[in-house]
Structure 1
Amino acid sequence: MVLNEQSRGLRTWLEIDKQRLANNYQVLRRLLKPEVKFLAVVKSNAYGHGLIDYALAVEAMGADYIGVDSVLEGFHVREAGVKAPILVLGHTLVVNALEAAEKNIALTVSNFEGLRAIAESGVKGLKIHLKFDTGMCRQGFFVNEATAVLDEFLKYDNLILDGVYTHFAGAKNPSFPTGTQQQIDQFEEVLAEIKKRGLKPIRHASASSGAIVFPKAHYDMVRFGIALMGLWPSREVEYAYVNKLNLQPILTWKTIVAEVKTVPAGSRVGYDGVELLERETRLAVLPIGYWHGYDRSLSGLGRVIINGHRARVLGRVSMDMIVVDITDAPDVAIGTEVVLLGEQGEVSVTADELADLSASSNYELVTRLNPLIKRLYL
């Protein structure tokens, strides 16, 4: 395979397909009524896809809101030129509230201590989203605290209630909707209290799974993360909707062959000699390892694609190298392009496949790809 111009000089890189991203955006946008806002989640380095380039791309496609984990991510995105409203989904230190307000970055507030600390910090005009815990037992005020929360908020005139939201714990399984419905019911109680006070914040509850499975919970805004990247939030959602939604993975992880050698039967490959070869074997050494995000649990199990052939990882995954069996792969030489994750012609190695082999998830697999690896938006 011939390397593209942008990848020359790189031992490993990620390619992000902007056409596929645009396709996914349109597929998901069509699920929403025109008045419902589309929040693109770019937190955690855009799930490994590259924070800045991804945020700029989804804004250009029409995303109404950008969701980050930390206020520092928000600062980076804003400084890169993103003009869309930004919401910090995670915890923010009070010391950063003033700069957040100056840069039109809304903060999640999920407990009384945080609400009071931010309100009394001297900040003015700060947009906040109150988050309620409707059943996940993670971040958020309890539903039975809604009256007290709103009373506390209304004491302060330096804060703007831009939004109110919750997060579903189990919307990933369409066959068991009861838990999510209970969370929706809990959230409705909060919304009733807000309505009594004449407040009209942006209401949002659904991430990718909830948006696909529970259209009645779209409210005023939906938060799309993994689905926008073309990965399914769960196998259950995929099985139920794969024929209805044409989501396409946008990420391909590539490397090159660094060395080729043939070793005799009886040789042992890698640290601790755990891979005993039963035949004379042609090996390719690839210059990536667990430092780059190729999980050590893929030792002896992972597959890569070389010239249309799925080659197995032999022995242990090292920090910066893996060895693969290319005995049956044609025309492999130093410099040959290798696909670690993604497609090459009709052959693929999917994030779900590698996640299954490593007892992980597609979320974790792509998010843990080393942020120092070059991302090429093509």
Structure 2
Amino acid sequence: MQQLKLLHPRNNLIEEAKLFRAQGQNEMAINLGIYISKENKTNEETSDIYRLIGKWLAETRSSNSRTILEQYLKPAVSIAEDVKTADKKAMERRCQTHFHLAHYTDALFRSHEERLNSNEWQSAMRLRKHKTVELEALIKRFRSSTKGEKTDYTMKIQELQKQLAMDKEEDQKLQDDRDNFLNLALEGYKHCLVIGDKYDVRVVFRIVSLWFSLSSRKHVVNSMLSTIDEVQSFKFIPLVYQIASRMGSSKDGQGPLNFQFALVSLVKKMAIDHPYHTVLQLLALANGDRIKDKQRSRSSFVVDMDKKHAAENLLNELSSYHGAIIQQMRQMVDIYIRLAEMETKKEDTNKRVTLPRDLRNLPVLEL
């Protein structure tokens, strides 16, 4: 290996490790990467080596998650963050290391979540409840037993207590690990969005999915608020329809800093920064109860009034930022709705439709 180092500059060794990996020689690639990382402790590109080793170990499942995280992916992030230069390459490296850490911990979170929701785990929970009931019954018998019986009961009680303690410890560790992996993933995704734009689409779709599916968890809402505050709002515009559609849901928890508070904060930020992309979605929700009088089966339409009120309240708040734009957009939406509500007949398909006088005399909108 020393001879290899003399023959090749360090960057060439990195490329050679990548080549080994591409050729399927995983062990050689990983070993060469580990060698390079040990030989160079201060070079700023060391973060790339740690990141690659961690990534390859994860993909090939050649090591346990603790080793991958603590020895490679986390150090990769730390080294990248320690580099104070703000050039494009350094920023890309930071973004990449954060993404790989977040992506890996996200996978670990999903694995733990699936295990906690699996049929096997639920069966184990039922068995634990059965053991708890059995323990309580043994304790009652112990109290009313004779001196000779107490020894047998004591042994059985101690054995059950030991089993329950081990089960509880395993359960708690699994939940703690799951929450820790989730926090690392959310934090990594946030930094990824703040630092660069290489992974914007993948990260935004995933982080919004996590927010929506875990909206009842307080630490997820706190992370959401932090992300909304630090990340530029345009990155969420591709999902503006889905994000706005969750407004006003009464099942999203109570309290001053609940999911709805965070969600409205995000929609408000998007609307202030990008009104033409956001306000129309709010107007659609605000008009959710507007159903044509002669609409067939009118009574069968289900209107979510919580969404309507939430959208109206936010539009009122936004009037102080974009009052003129919102007013004209309201007019435009109203025109489209009225056009859609106009009565037409099949025989009039190819005929020119006469518009109502008030629609014909509308001033030109300046949108």
Query: What interval of TM-score do these two structures reach, taking the shorter chain for normalisation?
Result: under 0.3
Which protein is richer in strand relative to its size? Answer: 1
Which TM-score applies when normalising by structure 1? 0.22
Give the structure, 1 or 2, with the largest relative contact order (CA under 8 Å, sep 6 or more).
Answer: 1
